[in-house]
Structure 1
Amino acid sequence: MNSTTSIFSKNRCQYLSFGKFLVQPVRKWLDSIAVDDRQVARWLCQLIPAQCPFERDIQLWGHHLFHVPPMCKLNPVYEELVGLRFRSLSFLADVCGEDVRPYC
């Protein structure tokens, strides 16, 4: 077997790189947002959840049927959103001296 063999076909690799090309500007934009307004920081902390909202246990009449795993890591901008939320929390706590426990 050739050492350069890929598990993806050429078309699949081109599709993945095109997807990265589309998402990269959004990721850079999210990383470049500077949080310097108290109202915006509060809004971002309320908007971006502290935990993945999709993870849950499905139960019926007290019996555990199945578990839905967290799927936030599948989001291509997940890391940037978490970073933005962290910058907002840090701004509120460090600069504004606000208690951030309500946002956790």
Structure 2
Amino acid sequence: MSTLTPPVHSRSGPRIDLLNPLRNWLDHLEVRDRTFAHLTCRLIPCCCPFERDLSLFGHTLHIPALCKLNPVYDQLVSLRFRALAYLTDVCGEDVTRYIC
């Protein structure tokens, strides 16, 4: 027999996600225009531009992908993917120039 436990709340109460409306808007944004799709693919990079391996005095220092700290990173990557799919499937264009 299982027992139900009440949800755990922090002392400050339930958390409010202020970026949730922006995330939802980006998730539901449809790519319907070739110009918008090209602009999206140019503005959103295919890989994180901040991830680096630095070599200092014979030691390698890895700087992690700081894009993961962006609270809407997953939604932007998804939007870029939808734009690439639109250009390929609907417009029949070659999108290799946008691939890293």
TM-score (norm 1): 0.78
Could you say what secondary structure the match of 1:82 adopts?
Answer: helix
Matched, 1:100 2:98: no
Quote the residue 2:48 is aligned against: 52
> After TM superposition, what 4+ stretches of structure 1 lie above 3 angstroms from structure 2?
none
In structure 2, the residue matched to 1:24 is 20
Identify the structure with the greater helix proportion.
1
Unaligned runs of 5+ in 2: 1-5
> Which string of whole-angstrom CA distances, capped at 9 and with x for unpartnered residues, describes residues 26-78 of structure 1?
001101211011011000001001001110012347x4441101122221111
Q: Which residue of the other structure, out of 63, 75, 79, is the alignment partner of 1:80?
A: 75
Query: Which runs of 5 or more structure 1 residues have no equivalent in the other structure?
Result: none
SS at match of 1:76: coil
CA distance in structure 1 between the partners assigned to 2:84 and 2:59 by the alignment: 35
Instruction: Using the aligned pairs only, state the percent identity.
Output: 52
User: How many matched pairs?
Assistant: 94
| TM-score for the superposition, normalised by structure 2 | 0.80
In structure 1, distance between residues paired with 2:35 and 2:59: 41
User: Is 1:69 matched up with 2:64?
Assistant: yes
> In 1, distance between residues paired with 2:26 and 2:53?
31
Q: In angstroms, what is the RMSD of aligned CA positions?
A: 2.2
